[in-house]
Amino acid sequence: MGLKDALRLLPDLLHVLRRMAVDRTVPAGVRVKLGLLVAYLLLPLDLVPDFLPVIGHADDVIIVALVLRSAIRSAGPEPLRRHWPGSPSGLAIIERLAGLDASRPD
């Protein structure tokens, strides 16, 4: 997945994170993590400045992957799949990023 593909997924990713963060069926701890992740992604401050080639965006991808993995382990994959606003291929990429086997229904 290239940078262009990642940028195309960003709006859908932000939508799904926001939707899951306000979904009362998702455990409160997971909602807090997701809300903090959305805030981190929207803030102009970053752990590693984005103007640094490759590594500037890599830290964001790593943080998203870690938080998604944690959220899905706690809440299960169903909220992600239920709230995903984008294409099935985009969901498959996000599921891989989160450590899910997209071929399994879980």
pLDDT in tens, the chain (106 residues): 555 666 688 889 889 989 999 999 999 999 999 999 888 888 877 767 766 777 777 777 788 889 988 998 899 899 999 999 999 999 998 888 788 875 555 5
pLDDT computed for residue 102 by the predictor = 52
Let me know: does 81 contact 91? Beta carbons within 8 Å: yes
Closest CA to 68 of 92, 42, 97: 97
Residue spans of the domains in the chain: they are 3-97
- The pTM (predicted TM-score) of the whole model is 0.75
| 62: nearest Cα among 8, 6, 4 | 6
d(CA 74, CA 68) in angstroms, rounded, equals 10
45-82 residues labelled b (16+ CB within 10 A) or e (exposed): ebeeeeeeeeeebeebeeebeebbebbbeebebebbbe
pLDDT of residue 6: 66
